[in-house]
Structure 1
């Protein structure tokens, strides 16, 4: 497992040559780790460590790597999606600092996806975790589709993040299209009345309004804006379909 994460990080730092080097070094670390009691994941629990830059960004990058590897292959488009997102959100200097620190701690600490999510559950509001899941779905879709393996992994992470089933399906509907997508996004059945549609829209608009996402993390703020727009689009689709004024 370490070899894939090391390759992923190496790519961010030195592009393709770094990915190759990271894979080789990670393979050696994998072998060493296996001889010491195997089955353990990449880091120790961040909640017990003082990490700089901010722990949140490092944990976010950890979850990104988990999704990128979920279907058993490292997609160039997904790598580029994450890289561009961090660069555009944090700027080149801070993004590179995050990647460098992550690359350093990867050799020293081990943490499971469950521990990463537990860390975030303890330190973030529910609304922030919803936007985090939205961002992870965006990574999965970056190569053109969200695979079954990625959906399974995303559902697992959603469970660790204590995100409800209806909220998970609502976010998933924004990335995996179906006939009833608009209704799924608003978390209602197609058989509800027009008044219930309006009520659901007001509830979801309030729930996902960017002002509800209290965080200094720009990546999560952008995710909130995107999701809020999807809720608005879903309501407009139903309005047009039903002729609701």
Structure 2
């Protein structure tokens, strides 16, 4: 397939960055995802401030995707498919092609700086969108069936540059990586928290991640919002059973 030929050629010319870009370009040529409407808007744009253009936001979003895909030193087909499907289904083949082409020109100038990209976004987006970005990046990392420590480290680095608190990062991470006291981590409370504190944390999380807060026609993002809300509900139900709460 053309997309993998592009990935091979890109890798031979520019390593992992070239492989990713070659894959993106080849996928559009292949028409792998079919024709989609080109007038859709990214869910993230609904949260951006007026002083950031859609084009700048899209390029910086793609830069973050590239950083996560390259984090473990491997080019994963499923991860690239995940990103490609999002951009093509959201923006349409023609616009997605233009985004990838512009990104390629920028990337030729040197390695992507996570700090520079995140500083740009942190200054121009609301806190809500930065949380959504982290969910999206974890979704990319998980798309190949496993999230490596290197990917977690890279997303944590990005979270720091995006000025997302460590507690918020751990809460999002707990939705993708299960561990001890996972339900408490999702709700962002300590296991020693009082029943009232747990209930308050649940109400805040349920409000924050309610699907109605995601104003988009993008089915993939809608599904992601519903899944996050479901995990918050399940975390609270687990704690309810443990503590015998009503």
Q: What secondary structure sits across from 1:174 in the alignment?
A: helix
Partner of 2:17: 5
Give the stretch that moved more between structures: 129-138 or 184-193: 184-193
Q: What secondary structure sits across from 1:54 in the alignment?
A: helix
Encode CA deviations 1:45-86: one digit per residue, 9 max, x unaligned: xxxxxx986111111111111111111111111111111222
Q: Is 1:14 the counterpart of 2:26 in the alignment?
A: yes
How much does 1:106 deviate? 2.5
Q: Is 1:146 the counterpart of 2:128 in the alignment?
A: no
Partner of 1:27: none
**CA–CA separation in structure 2 for the residues paired with 1:228 and 1:85:** 20
**CA–CA separation in structure 1 for the residues paired with 2:190 and 2:93:** 45
RMSD, matched Cα: 3.0
Map of 1:29-44 to 2, 5 A cutoff?
A: none
Partner of 1:230: 231
How much does 1:202 deviate? 1.0
When residues 215 and 75 of structure 1 are mapped into structure 2, their CA distance, relative to the original with a 3 A threshold, is same
State the TM-score, normalized to the length of structure 1: 0.75
Does the CA contact (< 8 Å) of 2:16 and 2:74 recur in 1? no
Partner of 1:128: 129
Partner of 2:173: 172
How much does 1:149 deviate? 0.9
How much does 1:4 deviate? 1.6
How much does 1:103 deviate? 2.1
When residues 13 and 111 of structure 1 are mapped into structure 2, their CA distance, relative to the original with a 3 A threshold, is closer
How much does 1:212 deviate? 5.3
Give the stretch that moved more between structures: 80-89 or 146-155: 80-89
Partner of 2:33: none
**CA–CA separation in structure 2 for the residues paired with 1:209 and 1:191:** 26
**CA–CA separation in structure 2 for the residues paired with 1:239 and 1:90:** 42
Does the CA contact (< 8 Å) of 1:53 and 1:98 recur in 2? no
**CA–CA separation in structure 2 for the residues paired with 1:60 and 1:223:** 17
**CA–CA separation in structure 1 for the residues paired with 2:54 and 2:125:** 17
Does the CA contact (< 8 Å) of 2:59 and 2:99 recur in 1? yes
Q: Is 1:107 the counterpart of 2:119 in the alignment?
A: no
**CA–CA separation in structure 2 for the residues paired with 1:53 and 1:158:** 21
Partner of 1:75: 76
Does the CA contact (< 8 Å) of 2:76 and 2:144 recur in 1? yes
Partner of 2:42: none
**CA–CA separation in structure 1 for the residues paired with 2:82 and 2:115:** 24
Encode CA deviations 1:161-218: one digit per residue, 9 max, x unaligned: 0110100100010111113111100011222232221111012223334565689999
Partner of 1:43: none
Q: What secondary structure sits across from 2:238 in the alignment?
A: helix
How much does 1:222 deviate? 6.2
State the TM-score, normalized to the length of structure 2: 0.75
Q: What secondary structure sits across from 2:176 in the alignment?
A: coil
